[in-house]
Structure 1
């Protein structure tokens, strides 16, 4: 049996960032996704890589050509979902805005993925993941005391971006089952990152979090929730928040809990951190991994992407495949009756071939 979205027809207007990532996931889940790309890669940009294109058929179109534009409109009329990731107003200027597309297909779910959103003072401004995170407060909270550090582009682009446009699209499809009508999904990274931050906002509201970086439970300040360097210059991650896990951590390190500073007193965290750092520095990362193997101390080695693909748990799950610089993530999540499959790109075709297939189904 195919994926849970088998039979869903998606038109993706190719862009950069989280929109193609969302399209990849829709394809992984079984949807039939057609990528509409320009005649050439964007100036100053790049096309998405092979693995981010997986599972999709590509159609090349010059949207300034009336014949090509009509071809895309034909796909839209037969589709369930249209997905775009451009600045507000771009698709309207192309003749593929929500008004035009919903007139062609009232059942269409029109997904819009931007950084700032479709409205607001910054809607037309350029930006990247780091900028959207900065304005939400999330970036300020991440990193050492000296300066904020961007957590790759995982939080804004993909956590606050593609995951939220996917959620919106699926919710709109569910609502369509009752109303029979599509609608527009306005997914903005500033909105998504703000929602992801809700637990931190809650902690602030009850005075369990402050805006001083590296001074809180989950930002690396707590000695029992941070990384430590080992004797070989690598690192282990420690997440022993609960007392029972912390007790196993201290036991594994060969320390005496009664001789250590009070872990519940933030004023004593620097002294406790120094003692734990000294203990971890005595052995290599992999030696510590062996010490804590099978122990609920919440201690794990910090792996590179290449190492992660070889990890026994990751390999058993099949979450990553490949080696070296060619590591690929498997589809997620998983389902009990239907299969999500990372299919290779289906290559290029033309409008009529796609439409004939869609009409037949």
Structure 2
């Protein structure tokens, strides 16, 4: 079976979520992704709970289809190995703070001299330049600064932390798109290029409608309601008699009219865009109506009425939903250490070059010796690199002890 990115080699220096999610997409599409990991610990998601049997479940999800090479980039021999790898690579992905790769001697300008066709993508919190470029942060910080967190609120008006990492995943998607665009451009230009992705920028890019409202002169206070963020009764979440919830979204007038008829209140059809007190009264009436029946009763009624309405499911319920099962969104793969592992597939279907999950997440350093031999290293040279701590950890027992202590601290 043909794979869209077959023949493309990616060196992935990133850890945790944003970079690995980007390279996961590239790997599923057929790229050879070589995950460069520090010999002592590797990617922290390897040991961060919750875990399957031995490995963090996030690592298993994000690192399928990848190869693992352990390399100490603080040693000159490690830098030399990386440079030799870079000469044969198409893409480099890194997630360090700005300037770190230059200090290590593996920054874009250095690698570009060795391989002018390299596509070098840097993922950072605030970007490679600007007054915040060297500031530390995580997803929550980025969505706060981008104004995204301020657009959510609970009943008391307090910002609500989203259930997923918007900036991290938005940045990963942006990096993926940029890398694919750069690969296509390379076919025309004959050379690679540098990509600067800021997770802050990515978070802001996910707010086109809200930003357009601000550009138009509208004020959006922290925790305030606007547009499709809880301002309108026809785009809202309502509680049912049994304590469950319905996501009701009859945005178009025809669907709103269908809803009003299904509720036995056709007289409400003219009040879809009611303002002020009339809107508050409409909210109150809809809340009252939805509390008169259970979730399943409403589903049966509204499914027949052709209304944009779905139940609010738990993730466990969603993963067993017949539509999600039919779309094969969940895949299962055997893993040598973990048994059968369930994974989410990519959210699109390609008719000629489908994305596939071919191999499970690798053990730490599983492919180091194989890759070194491909680069021309002899068995003696490989042993010397191991002894010098370039490709293998020193003091493994200490590492094991520290891991156990950390796991106890975080509650596993």
| TM-score over 0.5 for the pair | yes
Q: Which residue of 2 aligns with 1:166?
A: 176
Structure 1 unpaired stretches of 5+: none
1:152 corresponds to 2:170: no
Between 1:168-177 and 1:135-144, the stretch displaced more is: 135-144
Shift of 1:101: 1.3
Q: Which residue of 2 aligns with 1:257?
A: 266
Which has more radius of gyration? 2
Structure 2 unpaired stretches of 5+: 47-57, 333-340, 377-412
Shift of 1:15: 1.5
Q: Which residue of 2 aligns with 1:80?
A: 90
Q: Is the 8 A contact 2:247 2:309 kept in 1?
A: yes
Q: 1:113 to 1:183 in 2, by over 3 A?
A: same
Q: Which residue of 1 aligns with 2:36?
A: 36
Q: Which residue of 1 aligns with 2:275?
A: 266
Shift of 1:355: 6.7
Q: Which residue of 2 aligns with 1:237?
A: 247
1:350 corresponds to 2:350: no
Shift of 1:287: 2.8
Number of residue equivalences? 352
Q: 1:295 to 1:177 in 2, by over 3 A?
A: farther
Q: Which residue of 1 aligns with 2:8?
A: 8
Q: Please give the alpha-carbon distance, in whole angstroms, between the structure 2 residues aligned to 1:9 and 1:354.
A: 15
Paired residues for 1:276-287 under 5 Å: 276-287=286-297
Q: Could you tell me the TM-score, scaled by structure 1's length?
A: 0.90
Between 1:228-237 and 1:177-186, the stretch displaced more is: 228-237
Q: Please give the alpha-carbon distance, in whole angstroms, between the structure 2 residues aligned to 1:357 and 1:332.
A: 35
Q: Please give the alpha-carbon distance, in whole angstroms, between the structure 1 residues aligned to 2:70 and 2:93.
A: 16
1:297 corresponds to 2:297: no
Q: Which residue of 2 aligns with 1:62?
A: 72
Superposed CA offset, 1:133-187 (max 9, x none) = 122222211224612212234321112x101111111111111111111111000
1:112 corresponds to 2:111: no
Q: Is the 8 A contact 1:332 1:340 kept in 2?
A: no
Shift of 1:209: 6.8
Q: Could you tell me the TM-score, scaled by structure 2's length?
A: 0.79
Aligned pair partner of 1:332 in 324, 330, 347: 347
Shift of 1:4: 1.0
Q: 1:261 to 1:86 in 2, by over 3 A?
A: same
Between 1:266-275 and 1:118-127, the stretch displaced more is: 266-275
Paired residues for 1:95-110 under 5 Å: 95-110=105-120
Secondary structure of residue in 1 paired with 2:121: strand
Q: 1:217 to 1:296 in 2, by over 3 A?
A: farther
Q: Please give the alpha-carbon distance, in whole angstroms, between the structure 2 residues aligned to 1:354 and 1:287.
A: 63
